[in-house]
Amino acid sequence: MTADQLVAAAIKARSGAYAPYSKYFVGAALAATDGRVFTGVNVENASYGLTICAERTAVTKAVSEGALEFDAIAVVTENGASMCGACRQVVSEFVARQGRDIPVYFADPTGAYSETTISALLPGAFTPGSLDD
């Protein structure tokens, strides 16, 4: 799947976000190595600590359906912002398991995006291997 296709999937997903408090709607699309794409949205809660980000929703959906290896993730916000630290950690868990980095695309609703990697976003991540050290 191309970056543009993955960003388009995240843009489409974003329309389903539940953000009545922040009004900050986020969509994510996660490309599994087996060709499937898992989308997610942010789901806010009046008890703010129970809110889940779009990226973690996509990862949770993927894992619940047996996908544990990923090729890329796209995140769409109103201003093309980066993912939070918790999402970086969750995605890095699976990147570390597969032994290779993946691209991350941050886009706005027009589809304009920037590209980075999980390791660039979270250098020195705490990974499954950290438990063995």
Residues marked active site are found at: 55
The residues that bridge with 72 in the sheet, in sequence order, are: 31
Nearest in space to 77 (alpha carbons), one of 46, 43, 47, 42: 42
> What are the backbone dihedrals phi and psi of residue 60, each rounded to the nearest 5 degrees, phi first?
-60, -45
- Strand pairing class (113-117; 27-32): unpaired
